[in-house]
Amino acid sequence: MSNIKISPMTYEDIDDVLAISFLSFPISWSRESFLTELENNFSYYVVAKSDDVIVGFGGTWIIIDESHITNIAVHPSFRGLGIGELILKSLIDLGKPHFISSMTLEVRASNVVAISLYNKFDFKEEGRRKRYYEDNGEDALILWKRNF
């Protein structure tokens, strides 16, 4: 998608990010959680915009030489267009100036679309968190990308 622009998330983006989060996750983060992320020195968030409309977002924490992806979401009307891939690539690129050596995340074991995206970027399953998700007790796969 050539008209998608990735930019740092701002306070003005919170309402749109929150709306996408509620549409994307059974248990969304709160407004306060996203506001706290904008003030966290270890947190980096981006938004994907199509014609100045926010269609997705993603975030990561960078601590020492590791990056932990906290969330990636794309508005349901814009899924399947490569926006998640652009967001993930931007989060990986954010880690490069920090000389990260690895990147990790948790993903629902049933989320085959997300797992496929992460595999495309060389994330590998290295563990499982049993009953990680509160809404249904589903396991989370722990994925790592170590080849930076």
Residue 18 corresponds to which tokens in the numbers above?
């929150």
d(CA 133, CA 7): 29
List the one residue out of 95, 56, 59, 88 whose CA is nearest residue 73: 56
- Does residue 118 carry a catalytic annotation? yes
87: tokens are 């967001």
12, 118, 125, 138: which is the annotated catalytic residue? 118
Catalytic-role residue among 37, 44, 45, 106: 106
Task: Say whether 138 is catalytic.
Answer: no
Dig out the tokens for 119 from the structure. Answer: 């595999």
Structure tokens at 48: 């994907």
Region for residue 96 given its phi and psi (left: phi exceeds 0; alpha: psi -120 to 50; beta: otherwise): alpha
Positions marked catalytic: 106, 118
